[in-house]
Structure 1
Amino acid sequence: MINVSSEQILNKIAQIYSPISPACRKDLVYHLQYSKKQKGETVVHEGQYSEKAYLVIEGCSRAYYLKDGKDISDWFAFENEFMASIVSFFTEAPSPHYIEFIEDSYVVEFSKTTIERLCVQHHDFERLISKVVTNTMLGLRARLSSILFNTAEERYNQLLAIRPDITNRVPLKHIASYLGITLETLSRIRKPKRLNLI
């Protein structure tokens, strides 16, 4: 298992999202469930009911749709980010997504029951979950705006500004579908521009 203590994990969560009280930390440590996910492992399928959220400690996961046989990446989660089938988790409806791990990953799993119980018992945890959901929604909204208003090259450069290492960790076909472009277009954008020799 990865050499990171529960205290380090909670410190990172508090730093990124919202402060956590000592009482909340104590209850959280009791409920932390660690697991290892293999590269290529799918933990949620389209049409499945999902009541788990995953905090990525090390590794990377993605949510994607299948549309007319085409794989369309909708969301990536890296270290210290959460991944869940939001629709299924919060509305108890079948998931429209698949969730797959694209690297060998270590995660903390949270059940919906645990999250709801901790939200009732600790207002600071409720604020933390609210911040996680807000960040996720803002990220998805920013992606939609980028697809609507920016060129393919602008979208790619914006993604690199946020996640410089993404091309080393995520297959280019998934990056292309996330950006709403073809793999051929992505390859052209990434190709070094030739110098104009006079």
Structure 2
Amino acid sequence: MMLTTINYEKTIELISNAYNPLSVQCQQDFIEHSKIGVYKKGEIVVREGQYSKKAYLIVKGCSRAFYLKDGKDISDWFAFENQFMAPIISFFSEQPSPHYVEFVEDSTVLEFSKDIMDSLTNKHHDFERFISKVVTETMLGLCERLHAIQFNKAEDRFKHLLKMYPDITNRIPLTHIASYLGITLETLSRIRNPKKRI
């Protein structure tokens, strides 16, 4: 599966409009220095302890970042169409990634490196604003999740997740959703099916 040039350009335009409009020249430079990647469901592109300077703009499909704690798989965040996924710590620093990055569905993505991001940021102020908004959205999402786990009831956490991603239960396994919410699979099942409570 490969995108046509027209789809490629429309994808960049859609993403730029969602975050920060990019000039035609900036969009052309972005297209020239990025590439289309196709990944299978379950494919892991970054593992704990690896160094990675690659980011993924999801055109179609979804992915998740997760880590292992005492052998337990804990999802940290999800990314869907028009969103970015990257091993944040490794991407922005010289540290190995504490996360795994996995594609949860067959996915088509736009890939670019940290070097390309830095180059385009230096060349185009609109790209700099674009990346700033992308990173800010990602960081706010992680902070929001942490706050929700600390202060919100499990049912409220789930309702908020559904508000953000109405079809998430059709796309992400419930075990991953439960770990993301900081609850057990049994608790998630009770929340989803309150009439079955004893």
TM-score band, normalised by shorter chain: over 0.9
Farther off after superposition, 22-31 or 144-153: 22-31
Amino acid at match of 1:159: L
In the alignment, which of 169, 189, 195 is matched to residue 171 of structure 2? 169
1:31-180 matches, cutoff 5 A: 31-180=33-182
* Aligned counterparts of 1:79 and 1:57: Cα–Cα separation in 2: 5
Give, in angstroms, the shift of residue 149 of structure 1.
0.9
* Aligned counterparts of 1:178 and 1:99: Cα–Cα separation in 2: 14
Q: TM-score, normalised by structure 2?
A: 0.95
* Aligned counterparts of 2:100 and 2:16: Cα–Cα separation in 1: 28
Q: Please state whether the residue corresponding to 1:5 is helix, strand or coil.
A: helix
Amino acid at match of 2:148: S
* Aligned counterparts of 1:165 and 1:118: Cα–Cα separation in 2: 34
Runs of 5+ unmatched residues, structure 1: none
Give, in angstroms, the shift of residue 166 of structure 1.
0.3
CA RMSD of aligned residues (A): 1.4
Runs of 5+ unmatched residues, structure 2: none
Q: Please state whether the residue corresponding to 1:168 is helix, strand or coil.
A: helix
* Aligned counterparts of 1:85 and 1:129: Cα–Cα separation in 2: 15
Give, in angstroms, the shift of residue 37 of structure 1.
0.4
* Aligned counterparts of 1:31 and 1:5: Cα–Cα separation in 2: 16
Does the alignment pair 1:190 with 2:197? no
Q: Please state whether the residue corresponding to 1:40 is helix, strand or coil.
A: coil
* Aligned counterparts of 2:37 and 2:186: Cα–Cα separation in 1: 37
Give, in angstroms, the shift of residue 193 of structure 1.
2.4
Deviations 1:84-143 (A, max 9, x none): 001000012100000000100000101111111111111110110000000001111111
* Aligned counterparts of 1:189 and 1:29: Cα–Cα separation in 2: 44
Farther off after superposition, 181-190 or 10-19: 10-19
* Aligned counterparts of 1:25 and 1:65: Cα–Cα separation in 2: 34
Give, in angstroms, the shift of residue 154 of structure 1.
0.5
> Identical aligned pairs, as a percentage?
63
* Aligned counterparts of 2:109 and 2:69: Cα–Cα separation in 1: 28
